[in-house]
């Protein structure tokens, strides 16, 4: 084996070993890597839950009867609706919701109590601003619950079945998405954020500490140097996935419909792609502060345009194009597919191929951009 | 043509030049360093010493000129040079969060040393530099003198033919400096070429030959005796101060 082969082979392992030792010894970083996502998941998760409760709601009570008041009260009691005010007619209700002053409307028709008294099923209607799918699903479940509760009470008191129907009219976004939709996305958002940030500061930190100069006068190859630096972080990524999954299950009851090992396998190209973004960032900056700022720059499009919070189909073309350039967009499909619909690898390979493509492209670009000089 | 062939020389440069924008850091440097020689590069701050070393290690690309290091063109093939040289940068290049042993093993590994050979070489360095008792200590907790000792050991585990030392003893106490130079002499005797920059004139007197840089120009090369004789001054320190005075006179 020539000196060149020996160096190429073993310098990579030396690099890898050093990074693992440093990572293990850096308790603060490790705590931050696992602790911060945990805190964010809890805050994020509960914020989403509180947000969909207490929807500002207007009430149009055309029945003006004791029964209608009881149903409205039952709905408010679910905690999903907060009464903003009573409205006089449907036009007023529509304009209040259109202006965003209320996000739901409860409509009790004039013949509500009369129908109940005659033993006929009475109908109430919930109008909901479904532009926010979470709000909509919260309204549906709250209304359904209240309707069922009142029905049961009436049934017990009078011996009639299925007394009240609650009909939901989702406005603005009739194809509603469910609440669990957003929680798996948190795995992707947090994972991409931490991977990008830690990879982006990895090389810059050596520059700031003055060890990079010593490192680049050694004969290690550029690719070995860069891969040796980021590979240990893959482990961190998997620890994070596990922490978030466990917490998601414990705190928010996120279902795991599909196969867990499929999920871990599918996470691989995404973790690499996110690290590759960080690596690329590190070739553009000279200080850790700059690296952090540039890393955070990815946060906003990741949250807004990847389909994490808002459906991509409803976005203007430009936003869709930007979204298509984000690895998170593809990983969200993978995550939701596996966690919510139980999709297998056979259906997810196009997304995974795109993520692998991102990884190769970005690592290649980073290696090209990185020079073993101090200029 | 007579004289040494490039391969018998540790370093040969011709018209080596480096500019940063309008600022000329090194101008037309012609330098020859023999193998096994301890060669001192002297000059006030900003005279181009570090820039020269960085060009000779491939860390900076020269604006013009050529440089052969251990007989290899460092501008065209820096990696071929790098595996055969050692380097101690002015900025302390060790990992504070690695132990003495881990630092040594890491740098050995970067030069492709592995397994028994690495163990043997690292053990030799421990013995030679008296680091054995500190093996498990984190480098960050070492005192200045021990850090420099470890840095020199890390830069030479792979038995380089030539080592660049950029102000290796800055801020180190006299006892540690003396020990450091004992190690350098031992290595040089074993055939290693040393190019060192320093601000300590007692260290300069220990070099086989010296080169004075002033504002990027080479203004004198020779043994310490030749240098003092040429300037008609009693010590190298007097020469240094005289040159710095002229420098400042020109700048004013």
pLDDT per position as a tens digit, B32-69 = 999 999 999 998 888 999 999 999 999 999 999 999 99
- A window 196-225, beta carbon within 8 A of B: 209-211, 213-221
Rounded Cα distance between B189 and B183, Å, is 10
DSSP letter (8 states) at residue B218 = E
Instruction: Give the bridge partners for A366, in sequence order.
Output: none
Compute the distance between CA of residue B93 and CA of residue A145 in angstroms, rounded to an integer: 66
What is the edge-to-edge ordering of all strands in the sheet holding B64-69? B23-34, B9-20, B64-69, B72-73
* A104-108 vs A122-129, strand pairing mode: antiparallel
Give the whole-angstrom CA distance, residue A287 versus residue A290: 5
A18 contacts in B (CB within 8 Å)? 95, 98, 102, 106, 109
User: Considering CB atoms only, which of B59, B60, B95 is closest to A211?
Assistant: B95
Of the residues B112, B147, B151, B166, the best mutation for testing chain A's interface (the one with the most A CB atoms within 10 Å of its CB) is B112
Beta bridge partners of B17: B64
Selection from B246, B195, B237, B241 nearest residue B217 by Cα: B246
The nearest CA of chain A is from the CA of B147 a distance in Å of 14
The count of other CB atoms within 10 Å of the CB of residue A157 is 9
Contact check, Cβ <8 Å, A218/B105: no
Q: Mind listing the pLDDT tens digit of every residue in chain A (375 residues)? A: 677 778 888 899 999 999 999 888 887 666 766 777 677 777 766 665 544 567 888 999 988 888 888 888 888 887 778 888 889 888 898 888 777 778 888 888 888 888 877 777 788 888 887 656 666 777 777 777 777 777 777 776 666 555 677 777 666 444 443 435 666 788 888 888 889 988 988 889 898 888 999 999 999 999 999 999 999 999 889 988 888 888 777 777 666 777 888 899 999 999 999 999 999 999 999 888 888 888 888 888 888 888 887 767 667 888 889 999 999 999 988 887 887 777 788 888 899 999 999 999 999 999 999 988 887
From chain A, the residues in CB contact with B58 under 8 A are 217, 372-373
Length of chain B: 252
Rounded to the nearest angstrom, the minimum Cα separation between A205 and chain B is: 11
On whether the CB atoms of residues B95 and B103 are closer than 8 A, the answer is: yes
Report chain B residues whose CB lies below 8 A from the CB of A9.
Answer: 112
Which of the residues B106, B161, B168 would you substitute to probe the A interface, choosing the one with the greatest number of A C-beta atoms within 10 Å? B106
Contacts for A344-349: CB closer than 8 Å, 24+ residues apart: A344/A258, A344/A259, A344/A262, A345/A262, A345/A265, A345/A266, A348/A266
- Asked if the Cβ–Cβ distance from B98 to A26 is below 8 Å, we say no
CB–CB contacts below 8 A, A to B:
94
Q: Which of B89, B109, B113 sits opposite A214 (nearest CB)?
A: B89
Residue A188's nearest CA partner among A291, A44, A353, A20 is A44
Q: Shortest CB distance from B91 goes to which of A6, A10, A210? A: A210
Q: Taking the CA atoms of chain A, what radius of gyration do you get in angstroms?
A: 27
Yes or no: say if A140 and A92 are a contact pair by the CB < 8 Å rule.
no
Which of A5, A8, A13, A14 should one mutate to test binding to chain B, selecting the residue with the greatest count of B CBs within 10 A?
A14
The ipTM value here is 0.89
* Beta carbons of B60 and A215 less than 8 Å apart: no
With 0-12 / 13-18 / 19 or more C-beta atoms within 10 angstroms meaning exposed / middle / buried, residue A308 is buried
């Amino acid at each position: 084996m020539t000196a060149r082969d020996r160096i190429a082979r073993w310098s990579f392992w030396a690099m890898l070993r050093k990074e693992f030792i440093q990572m293990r010894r850096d308790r603060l970083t490790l705590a931050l890597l696992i602790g911060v996502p945990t805190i964010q998941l809890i805050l994020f998760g509960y914020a989403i839950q509180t947000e969909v409760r207490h929807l500002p709601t207007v009430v149009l009570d055309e029945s003006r009867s004791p029964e209608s008041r009881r149903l409205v009260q039952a709905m408010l009691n679910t905690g999903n609706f907060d009464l903003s005010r009573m409205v006089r007619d449907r036009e007023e209700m529509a304009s209040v919701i259109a202006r965003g002053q209320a996000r739901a409307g409860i409509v009790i028709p004039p013949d509500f109590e009369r129908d109940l008294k005659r033993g006929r099923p009475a109908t109430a209607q919930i109008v909901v601003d479904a532009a926010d799918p979470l709000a909509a699903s919260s309204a549906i479940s709250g209304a359904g619950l209240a309707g069922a509760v009142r029905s049961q009470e009436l049934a017990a008191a009078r011996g009639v079945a299925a007394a009240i129907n609650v009909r939901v009219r989702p406005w603005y976004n009739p194809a509603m998405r469910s609440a669990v939709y957003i929680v798996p996305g948190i795995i992707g958002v947090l994972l991409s954020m931490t991977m990008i940030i830690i990879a982006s500061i990895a090389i810059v930190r050596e520059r700031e500490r003055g060890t990079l100069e010593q490192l680049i006068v050694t004969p290690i190859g550029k690719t070995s140097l860069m891969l040796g630096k980021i590979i240990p972080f893959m482990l961190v990524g998997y620890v994070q996935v596990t922490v978030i999954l466990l917490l998601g299950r414990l705190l928010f009851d996120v279902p795991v419909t599909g196969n867990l090992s499929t999920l871990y396998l599918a996470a691989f190209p995404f973790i690499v792609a996110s690290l590759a973004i960080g690596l690329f960032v590190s070739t553009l900056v000279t200080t850790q502060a700059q690296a952090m700022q540039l890393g955070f720059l990815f946060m906003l499009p990741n949250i807004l345009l990847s389909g994490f919070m808002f459906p991509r189909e409803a976005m203007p073309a430009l936003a869709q194009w930007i979204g298509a350039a984000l690895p998170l967009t593809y990983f969200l499909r993978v995550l939701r597919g596996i966690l919510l619909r139980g999709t297998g690898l056979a259906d997810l390979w196009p997304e995974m191929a795109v993520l692998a493509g991102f990884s190769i492209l970005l690592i290649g670009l980073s290696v090209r951009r990185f020079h073993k000089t101090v200029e | 043509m007579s004289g040494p062939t490039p391969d018998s020389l540790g370093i040969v440069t011709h018209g080596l030049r480096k500019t940063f924008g309008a600022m000329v850091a090194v101008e037309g440097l012609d330098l020859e360093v023999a193998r096994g020689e301890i060669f001192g590069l002297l000059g006030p701050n900003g005279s181009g010493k570090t820039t020269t070393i960085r060009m000779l290690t491939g860390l900076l690309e020269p604006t013009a000129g050529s440089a052969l290091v251990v007989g290899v063109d460092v501008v065209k093939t820096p990696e071929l040079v790098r595996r055969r040289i050692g380097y101690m940068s002015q900025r302390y290049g060790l990992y504070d969060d690695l132990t003495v042993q881990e630092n040594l093993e890491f740098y050995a590994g970067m030069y492709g040393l592995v397994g028994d050979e690495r163990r043997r070489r690292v053990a030799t360095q421990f013995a030679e530099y008296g680091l054995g008792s500190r093996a498990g200590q984190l480098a960050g907790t070492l005192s200045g003198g021990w850090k420099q000792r470890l840095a020199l050991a890390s830069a030479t585990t792979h038995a380089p033919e030539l080592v660049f030392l950029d102000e290796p003893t800055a801020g180190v106490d006299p006892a540690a400096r003396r020990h450091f130079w004992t190690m350098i002499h031992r290595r040089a005797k074993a055939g290693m070429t040393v190019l060192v920059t320093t601000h300590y004139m007692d260290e300069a007197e220990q070099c086989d030959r010296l080169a004075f840089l002033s504002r990027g120009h080479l203004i004198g090369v020779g043994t310490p005796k030749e240098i003092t004789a040429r300037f008609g001054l009693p010590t190298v320190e007097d020469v240094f101060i005289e040159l710095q005075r002229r420098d400042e006179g020109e700048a004013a």
